[in-house]
Amino acid sequence: MNPREKTLKELQEYTDKELIQKKYYELRNDPVALKQYAAEIEDTVREQHILLFDFPFVHHPDLLRESDLYPHLSISHVSNVNVVRHLRYTPVFEHSHSFFTVLYVLSGQCGHTVNGIDVPMAEGDVFFLPPYAKQTISVFDDSIVLNIHIRRDTFGDYFFNVLRRNSILSNFFINSLYTTEPIQGILFHTGTNEEIQDLFLEMYREARLDDQYSWRILDNMVPILFATLLRGHSDSIEYIGEDARDKLRSQRVAILSYINDHFRTITLEELADVFHYSVPHISKLIQNEAGIGFATLVRQVRMNHATALLRNTHTPVSEISYLVGYENPESFIRAFKKEYKVSPSAYRKKNVPAEE
């Protein structure tokens, strides 16, 4: 059995939690049998935190963070990326994430809503969900649905290099990170494309392996996935939400994208000149789109790039200071501590694995 076949077999197998949720679902129309089964599994549900909401002690936060989902996986502490299979027969509940989510239907189908919008997904569909959007997922058969979770604070040079040239994905992430009204999401239709399937399977396999190299490999596979989707399936994109397509192609997103690409040295005067606006007018556009002023936005972009460099490289703090646009390290350290309440060195120590 080759690695692909082995991974597919593993994904098709039901976990103990899924088997409990499946039986509970199948008994939903038989109150007597359901009550008896609930008594049998109560201790297990309590101990394993199984999401069966008929039990009064079972609850979930409205906002899920990495620490909520993966408290026992070391990869969650050091990686920008994780990949999990959605547990089948999990009761439907609305929730949001503090991170980006890429939802992929490897086989079958998936019930799905985003902020109340019904977005059902078929085999091969890939959905990009921004942070804090409210989502429901329903899988009540043998379908296999994978989730890639990507930290919100990692979109500095580390991931954006492959997304430059004003791509739809680049604009999606810019819109999600720096505007007050992000779109609901974008949906690719890839059908039975084996190249896409293999990328998701390899990423799932790497996340399950979870050794000292996994987080680096996963981080580097994400840009490959993005580029492959853009190369082969840009013409199949659906834009979710009111005026979503226009928002991603708007001049305002182009302005934010330019700031993200030139954040080291950008000035308001330069920005106004590039886009042929007066300084007051472009300043107002930024305030309306991002909800913050130009200087605050540039500092936010710089901090996002700085955290990516701190997490993913061994570059000295003094050099990172220069790379993100600060002329002296002291100014950078003060700005960083103001934003994150810790020094750059302390942030790195917390977020980089001890082996390195």
Distance from C-alpha of 69 to C-alpha of 71, rounded to nearest angstrom: 6
- Give the pLDDT confidence score for residue 85 in this predicted structure: 95
**Residue 251 neighbours by CB under 8 Å, 6+ apart:** 275
pLDDT grade for 356, boundaries at 50, 70 and 90: very low
Distance from C-alpha of 196 to C-alpha of 204, rounded to nearest angstrom: 12
- Give the pLDDT confidence score for residue 69 in this predicted structure: 55
pLDDT grade for 73, boundaries at 50, 70 and 90: very low
Q: What is the pLDDT of residues 152-197, one digit of tens each?
A: 877 655 555 555 556 888 889 989 989 998 999 999 999 999 999 9
DSSP 8-state code for residue 86: P
Residue 351, phi-psi category: left (phi > 0), alpha (psi -120 to 50), beta (remainder): alpha
pLDDT at 75 over 70: no
DSSP 8-state code for residue 262: S
Q: What is the pLDDT of residues 6-56, one digit of tens each?
A: 999 999 999 999 999 999 999 999 999 999 999 999 999 999 989 999 999
Q: Which domains does the chain have, with CATH numbers?
A: 1-58 (no CATH), 60-240 (2.60.120.280), 250-351 (1.10.10.60)
The number of CA neighbours under 13 Å toward the Cβ of 112 is 24
Q: Which residues of 110-134 are buried (b: 16+ CB within 10 A; e: fewer)?
A: bbbbbbeeebebebbbbbbbbbebb
